[in-house]
Structure 1
Amino acid sequence: MKKLFLSMALCLTSGLASASGGFSQCPQFFAQSTAPKTPASAELKLRELCYDAFAVMHSGRSRTPLYVAERLSRAQLIDAQDEERTNRFFSDARLPRAERAELDDYKGNEGLDRGHMSPAADQPTAQAMAQSFTLANVVPQSSQNNRKTWASIEKATRKYAMRAAGDVYVITGPVFDGNIRTIGNGRVWVPTYLYKLVYDPSTNRAWAHWIENTDSARPGKPISYGELVKRTGIEFLPGVHPAS
């Protein structure tokens, strides 16, 4: 297989690292404080963004995240249960206008949702919840996929993190094949596949959910970490050698 790749403002920007600060401002979201190694390509127009509860590697080419990283714990997820979903999507002003999705890009696209990569249900505070609705954390996702199949994968990931012995690292993202479909005037890329990598340091185990971005997709058996790296060309856990 060939490699695939790839008024609210005051509230939302409070506590955020600037785009120029990059992942040095939020190493806690990565295993061993080390961010994934992505293919060197100026065409992807990559920018590192930190938020309160997740980190985004954003691609100005696709106007979507390349991946979104989280560190989940039982305590965080218990806190998240009390947070009210805001549903107030916004375009992140830290990204250049020519590289970001806008709200209008998602209008009039029946059958596609604004699909979170770091789920709203993972967010432990009101501010983290609000930040999760940045379009930098969103991809155009088939509606039934987002609401049913993908939601079940997110729920299973939270369930695992709730019973894990320690923190669990989760990296989620879109995958695009050679026949790119776009939406909106900004030509936001629509993923062909979605993945969610789960790594548990306490057991040194890692696995990934991989599904097609269609309404008919159903969860299958997770793939190995090595297979995910092979399919995406991204080394998600540099320096880590998960048990197979």
Structure 2
Amino acid sequence: MNRQRIYYALSLAAILAAFWLFDLWWAKAEQESKRPQFEMVSGGELRPRSTEGIEITHEYYAFSYRTEYEQAEWVAYWLKPEHLTQDDRKRPYFEVDPSVPGESAHWRNYKGSGYDRGHLCPAGDRRFSEEAYNETFLTSNVSPQDREFNAGIWNRLEQQVRSWCKRYGDLYIVTGGILEEGLEEIGSEGVEVPDYFYKIVYRPGDDEALIAYLIPNQEQKSDLSRFEVSVDEIERRSGLDFFTLLDKGKQEELEAPTRLGEWRYHNFN
């Protein structure tokens, strides 16, 4: 009788342990399925290397921080059609990013400077969850932008990228300011003001294509197409090296000047 009770007790314990392990596995699998699958490509072949080695992956974007300039030299993220919601989000306060060694520059550096805290990963691309939206308001994700530039051509480019995402599907985006010598500084921490901003948009799949922009940090009335450049040009100006882990032939093909007809523009003026 005692042996039978022990057998039943051990069997019950084994069954409960099996249920517990399955529940743990299921919870983890469900959590992973809800992630934006950011690490799918963002860690390797597409994003550039970090100049200072301060490369940080948040939940919804990755970036490389340059302490000399007190901002990110690049921010990289996936944009997917399911991200493009119209959820109404309460705009949070900007916060310093504690993941940056010594923290990212404080938002007060921008106060009274005449420059906007310009998003690199746009808040409008991350309305699908409160967590994702709020994460874009870390100061590691902003750079000093001329107000007319930020509200003008930069905003039109962000809208154009969303339009392409709806048309073509998943896009991978790398963006930032050109950080170079002799830039204007603002605030007590010396946040430097880029003269130019770049954005690179990669479209994977059967209709694989890439388009890149280099735009002066001031409002531009010209069409976006006027600011198309090759990735080679952005590499030359920024000192960064994109797509380093891709096959060299593929890298050269992608970084060549854009071929006409691969991207359709929508007028957002």
Structure-1-length-normalised TM-score? 0.78
Find the partner of 1:234 among 218, 235, 240.
240
> Could you say if the C-alpha distance between residues 118 and 85 of structure 1 is closer, same or farther in structure 2, counting changes exceeding 3 Å?
farther
CA-to-aligned-CA distance 1:193-241 (integer Å, 9 cap, x gap): 0001001112231111110112357432411223222322222222143
Q: Does 1:160 align with 2:167?
A: no
> Aligned ranges for residues 126-165 of structure 1 at < 5 Å?
126-164=130-168
Q: Aligned to 1:196, what secondary structure does the other structure show?
A: strand
Picking from 226, 230, 234, the partner of 1:224 is 230
Partner of 1:119: 122
Alignment-derived partner of residue 17 in structure 1: none
Q: 1:198·1:208 contact (CA, 8 Å) conserved in 2?
A: yes
The correspondence for 2:181, drawn from 173, 178, 181, is: 178
User: Matches of 1:225 and 1:34 in 2, distance apart?
Assistant: 12
Which one has the largest radius of gyration?
2
Percent identity at matched positions? 29
Partner of 2:190: 187
Tell me the matched-pair count. Answer: 210
Post-superposition offset of 1:28: 3.0
Flag the 1:85–1:212 CA change in 2: closer, same or farther, 3 A.
Answer: farther
1:125, distance to aligned residue in structure 2 (A): 1.0
Tell me the distance in 2 between the aligned counterparts of 1:144 and 1:173: 17
Inter-partner Cα distance in structure 2 for 1:83 and 1:30:
28
Shift of residue 53 of structure 1?
A: 1.6
CA offset at residue 177 of structure 1?
3.5
Could you say what secondary structure the match of 2:152 adopts?
helix
Q: Which residue of structure 1 lines up, in the alignment, with residue 91 of structure 2?
A: 86
State the secondary structure of the residue aligned to 2:54.
Answer: strand
What CA distance in whole angstroms lies between the structure 1 residues aligned with 2:89 and 2:156?
20
Separation in structure 1 between the aligned mates of residue 216 and residue 90 of structure 2, nearest angstrom:
26
Note the alpha carbon deviations across 1:39-78, whole angstroms, 9 max, x for none: 5xxxxx441222222111111111101100011111122x
After superposition, the C-alpha distances for 1:63-112 in whole angstroms (9 at most, x for unaligned) are 101100011111122x3x21415142111122233x621122111112x1
1:183 and 1:46, CA in 2 relative to 1: closer, same or farther beyond 3 A? farther
CA RMSD of aligned residues (A): 2.2
Q: Contact 2:180/2:238 (CA < 8 Å) preserved in 1?
A: no
Match of 1:72 among 79, 97, 100: 79
SS at 1:159's partner residue?
helix
Query: Is the 1:169–1:199 Cα contact (8 Å) retained in structure 2?
Result: yes
**SS state of the match for residue 185, structure 1?**
coil
Q: 1:206 to 1:188 in 2, by over 3 A?
A: same
Tell me the distance in 2 between the aligned counterparts of 1:229 and 1:133: 27
Task: Kindly indicate which of the two structures has a greater share of residues assigned to helix.
Answer: 2
* Alignment gaps of 5+ in structure 2: 1-36, 257-269
In 2, Cα distance between equivalents of 1:217 and 1:57: 31
Q: Distance in 2 between matches of 1:217 and 1:192?
A: 17
Gaps of 5+ in 1: 1-24, 40-44
Alignment-derived partner of residue 47 in structure 2: 35
Q: How far off its partner does 1:36 sit?
A: 1.4
Greater shift after overlay, 45-54 or 213-222?
A: 213-222
TM superposition shift of 1:192:
1.0
Structure 2: distance between partners of 1:169 and 1:223:
17
